Amino acid sequence: MEIVPAIDLIDGKCVRLSQGDYGRRKVYSDSPLEVAKSFEAAGIRRLHLVDLDGAKAQHIVHHRILEQITSHTSLIVDFGGGLKTDEDLRIAFESGAQMVTGGSIAVKSPEAFENWIRTYGPERIILGADVSEGKIAVSGWTERSELDLWSFLENYVQKGINKVICTDISRDGMLRGPALELYTQILAKYPELHLIASGGVSSLKDLDDLKAAGLPAAILGKAIYEGRIQLKDLSKYLC
């Protein structure tokens, strides 16, 4: 199973939110680059980098930090947050992102998102499916749409998407375990999907449970920052 640590950015700092609430943030480092280097030193190859300021501003903000990380590490970075236009996407890729994650745009501007899939291919475009009470949340999780998860997934699987990051917002940053039942249901319906679990991972047992359920990848953040999971203990999951 692929381990994908997350770095969430506000004011250029590495932070974590609880349940997506910008008012419930905790700063863990003033240097996202040093955090990324620590992941690389532990043998990790992937990074999920989220521009929370960009998500609020509706355009890319922290592309310089993205560029710093991709220039000074060998991490494969997927970048999300605030990608709303072709220009945002161009900046993200030129700043070194190898993949991007689109959530809000996939809801609010589906034609534009579908064009990204056609232009760049499903290997570089990840669908962000952020779920709150069965509905897709957008704009940095500050809004809940009326679109249900299953319709959302079905539409984009038919459009060629094969990578999905699915976050149960109620679990994100809460260290109460991942949405294992939900992920099992998704994989039962879409067994070929590269489904990336996100939210709630609190222990190595959670990772073991996700792996046993067939999840090909998992994002973790707060469990690392709070010392619940040590980077040295992740070696058994790394390819």
Active site residues: 8, 130
Side chain identity at residue 230, one-letter code: Q
| Phi then psi dihedrals of residue 215, to 5 deg | -70, 130
For residue 78, the SS3 value is: strand
Contact criterion met (CB below 8 Å) for 32 and 13: yes
Residue 17: strand pairing partners: 25
Beta strands in the chain (DSSP E): 2-10, 13-18, 21-29, 46-51, 76-80, 99-102, 125-132, 135-138, 143-148, 163-168, 194-198, 217-220
Residue with tokens 């070194």: 96
| Three-state SS sequence of 136-168 | EEECCCCEEEEEEHHHHHHHHHHCCCCEEEEEE
Q: Residue 97 burial (CB < 10 Å; 0-12/13-18/19+)? A: buried
